[in-house]
Amino acid sequence: KRALCMPSTSSTNQGLDAHPAPALLEQIRGAVDDDVAHETSKYTWWSKHEGSTSERDRTFRSRRLALLYVAKRNSEQLCDYAESAGTDWEALFPTSGTHVLRPNRPFDLHAMLELGDDAMQEWCDAVCNAFSRYKVVKGSLYRYQPRPRKVVEAAELYAILQREGADAEELDHTRRQALLLSDIAGFD
């Protein structure tokens, strides 16, 4: 009997070079965006969601790096489910309709690199949705969560350290908070 969730023997994941070519690393990396923290989170559950935890997992320099990581980890998790359920990966996704997955196979680096970032995001989301559709009793889901990142440079920090008291923006924020609290409490 063939392995239920193993990539085929012709898979391009087999025999990956320990020292990949710079062009391959560039293709894996994608466009670096230092204005965004490309974070991933890990949600783990057990006993049909009677217990669960959620945590930050990793931060990457590009969306593509984060998506490749999420695709790989979720593929591993869904493979574990498929094997425990005694089914093939391909049987988890229909060939047409709402829950189609393309490519419909476990994570394969070279196949994933052929996808654009949006298509890869759709692949990751579809794999995550399969956990809900099949009511998986226990496992972990990885999600991509971009967050805006404002890096404070040395000159900006120096200006903050030199001033005395709050700046106009901080004072305005404090006034808005006081108004909101007085409005909630019913004060005029």
User: What is the full DSSP assignment across 80-117?
Assistant: HHHHHHT--GGGGS-SSSTT--SS-SS--HHHHHTS-H
Burial class (CB in 10 A: 0-12, 13-18, 19+), 139: middle
Strand ranges, E, within the chain: 36-46, 51-60, 139-148
Contact between residue 37 and residue 145 where contact means Cβ atoms under 8 Å apart: no
What are φ and ψ of residue 101, in 5° steps?
Answer: -125, 125
Position 145 scores a pLDDT of: 94
Position 164 scores a pLDDT of: 76
Position 178 scores a pLDDT of: 83
Position 151 scores a pLDDT of: 80
Contact between residue 143 and residue 43 where contact means Cβ atoms under 8 Å apart: yes
Contact between residue 94 and residue 100 where contact means Cβ atoms under 8 Å apart: yes
Q: Which of 135, 121, 79, 127 is nearest to 101 (CA)?
A: 127
pTM over 0.85: no
Position 12 scores a pLDDT of: 43
Q: Which of 95, 69, 77 is nearest to 5 (CA)?
A: 77
How confident is the prediction along the chain (188 residues), in pLDDT tens digits per residue? Answer: 334 576 544 444 455 677 889 999 999 999 998 889 999 999 999 998 899 999 999 999 999 999 999 999 999 999 999 999 999 999 999 888 888 899 999 999 999 999 999 999 999 999 999 999 999 999 999 999 999 988 888 999 998 898 877 677 777 878 888 888 887 777 65
Position 8 scores a pLDDT of: 44
Contact between residue 38 and residue 59 where contact means Cβ atoms under 8 Å apart: yes
| CA pair distance 31, 25, nearest whole angstrom | 12
Position 7 scores a pLDDT of: 54
Residue 70 structure tokens: 């999420």
Contact between residue 123 and residue 117 where contact means Cβ atoms under 8 Å apart: no
